[in-house]
Chain A
Amino acid sequence: MKKKKAISAVITVFAVVLGLLWLIPLIWLVGTAFSVPSFHMTLFPTTSFTLDNLKYVWNAIPFGTYYINTLILVVCTFVVQFVTSTMAAYALGVMDFKGSALVFAVIFMQIIIPNDVLITPNFMTLSELKLVDTKIGMMLPFYGSALAIFLLRQHFKSIPKALAEAARIDGATTWQTIWRVYMPCAKPAYLSFAVISVSYHWNNYLWPLIVTNSPANRTLTVGLAIFAKSKEANMQWANVCAAAFIIIIPLLLAFFVAQKQFMSSFVSAGIKE
């Protein structure tokens, strides 16, 4: 018993030490972002505390606009996905209509082929639609979400049909059944999908980079990349850290507050069975 306890203690200590090691890049980022720039890079800040780096990058990069653009992108994408996926998930999970196998085939295709690899043909489609450098163009490929449909459908299927029958007998239409019976029951699935969708689009880079070419439409990640690669940022690690801090902080805070929700969302989004 004593030996067991000792082993357990050793594992705990090791896990904590490894955890601290994992935190080093974040500690360095935050420490550097908030201290006076020095010519010598150190792991822990040695100079005094300052907000100047943050102020400098906030003015050097139109972060205000980028923040608004990213918020619009994240929120609008999620709202549309919410509506389209709810409808499709209901049809595929609850109704038994002819030809649904075809829809499943399309869903499966999107699950194995991520949007990112189709940048070239999708960009052509976008330019034919005259939607290059627009916010809507950035969102359009994500309006139909196989992942959301799948998540919601699993949940809808587990809801007893008797509930829907009861609503129907009370004279509810399809819309009302979805709205009053299925959606309230599937809150956890919506929450999981919200976490996945928001963090994906907040962090996404390649597609927004390709679609946008004016500051008016750029997102935070595109803005950060432009800054990090500019001559101005060369060797200016304090400024790059400050800029990175600005873009990672909202999600990171949300994660620290709702750590369990984030992890379980990521698990449920990995479609298992």
Chain B
Amino acid sequence: MKTYTRKQRELKKNLVGWLLVAPSLIFMTCFTVWPIFRSIYLSLTKYRMGMAKPEWIGFENYINLFHSGLFWKVMGNTLYFALITIVPSMVVGLFLATIVNRKSRLTGFVRTAYFYPVIMPMIAIASIWMFIYMAKNGLWDQLLVSFGQKPMNILSSKKTVLPAMAVMYVWKEAGYLMVFFLSGIQSISEEVNEAARIDGAGAWTIFRRITLPLLAPTFLFVSTIALTNSFKLVDHVVIMTEGAPNNASTLLLYYIYQQGFTNFNYGVSSALTTVMLLLLMIVALPRFLSQDKKIHYN
């Protein structure tokens, strides 16, 4: 039997470790790390389809963007849409979690009913909700007419297009957030609730004084994923409006897509991507900082 010195064994272990992570690391580097740096670099260049290679222009793309009304409109839309989707979907998600957190024969059915939109593709959902929102013939406008109201043509109005999409989004997302809240609620020990009950606390007091504060980490986590999801999902814009009316429903990722794949303006698309990366990092920051204390990656 061959014997190795300690140093040789150490070396072998490191080598095996690196060989084992190599495939994952190569793919992650090529398609996550490298494109991040590439976006930052290309955002400082003029680069359109047909040009042989990118041409360095410094911050011109950013300056042009910051001076364009459309960019600010898109940023406004993106943040507005995030706000009107994540707040209601968290509230509804928490609410659903509290009503399905009980032993009843119907619980299984109810949970299924709230969760199934999560596993449906947004493309299918948006195609279906199109008909709900469609002018005149759509279900919503018919409902309005039957109540003696005027039809709204909800997707063609600047004011209603994003809220309409948000309603659909909350319907899809609330069940997803529900399961996180449910697991958070279930991890609170029954003894704590019991002790409060003995002290004479009612259900509402227990919810407000015990459940909610103990759910703080879940809230932080859920708001991060909800925010990230609202930034990264634009399938419904492609199907329902393509940004209409007058860019009132253009979200940042859709704008990136338009610049890159309709206008073939890779420089501007990269500058927008860089803005998006910055947004995502800001979103992840609180989670990273709070995790830092609890989690030790090594």
Contacts and interface: CB of A to CB of B under 8 A. Distances in A.
Interface stretch (A24-32, A46-54, A58-66): A24-32
Interface in B17-32: 17-18, 20-21, 23-32
A11 interface: yes
Contacts of A78: none
Interface stretch (B56-64, B158-166, B252-260): B252-260
B139 interface: yes
Contacts of B96: 18
A25 B115 contact: no
A212 interface: no
B14 A109 contact: no
B201 interface: no
Contacts of B18: 91, 97, 99
Contacts of A19: 109-110, 113-114
B128 A125 contact: no
Interface string B255-297: 0110111000010011001001100110110001001001101
Contacts of B235: 205-206, 221, 225
Given A23-B113, A92-B21, A106-B28, A123 B121 contact: no
B150 interface: no
Most buried by B among A15, A123, A263, A273: A15
Contacts of B29: 106, 144
A141 B16 CA distance: 24
Nearest to A83: B23
Given A26-B116, A41-B142, A273 B127 contact: no
Nearest to B284: A112
Contacts of A95: 13, 16-17, 20
Contact of B38 (A8, A41, A90, A124): A124
B24 A144 contact: yes
B280 A113 contact: yes
Count class of interface residues, chain B: 35 or more
B14 A118 contact: no
B214 interface: no
Contacts of A158: none
Nearest to B235: A205
Contacts of B32: 106, 109-110, 113, 115, 118, 141, 144
A100 to B, nearest CB: 7
Contact of A90 (B20, B35, B106): B20
Interface stretch (A159-167, A185-193, A233-241): A233-241
A75 interface: no
A145 B234 CA distance: 22
Contacts of A18: 96, 99, 110, 114
B183 interface: yes
B235 to A, nearest CB: 5
B27 A84 contact: yes
B25 A117 contact: no
A180 to B, nearest CB: 16
A258 B83 CA distance: 33
Interface in B184-231: 217, 221, 225, 228, 231
B277 A88 contact: no
Given A87-B21, A272-B221, A252 B120 contact: yes
B174 to A, nearest CB: 9
A28 B284 CA distance: 38
B269 A120 contact: yes
Contacts of B260: 119-120, 123
B42 to A, nearest CB: 7
B176 A266 contact: yes
A240 B180 contact: no
Nearest to A237: B131
Given A8-B102, A247-B121, A255-B112, 17 more contacts: A11-B99, A15-B99, A18-B99, A41-B139, A84-B24, A88-B25, A90-B20, A91-B20, A99-B14, A114-B232, A125-B34, A144-B31, A203-B120, A248-B120, A248-B124, A252-B120, A259-B111
A-B interface, 9 closest residue pairs, ranked by CB to CB distance from nearest? A97-B17, A144-B27, A19-B113, A121-B35, A203-B121, A91-B20, A144-B28, A141-B31, A112-B284
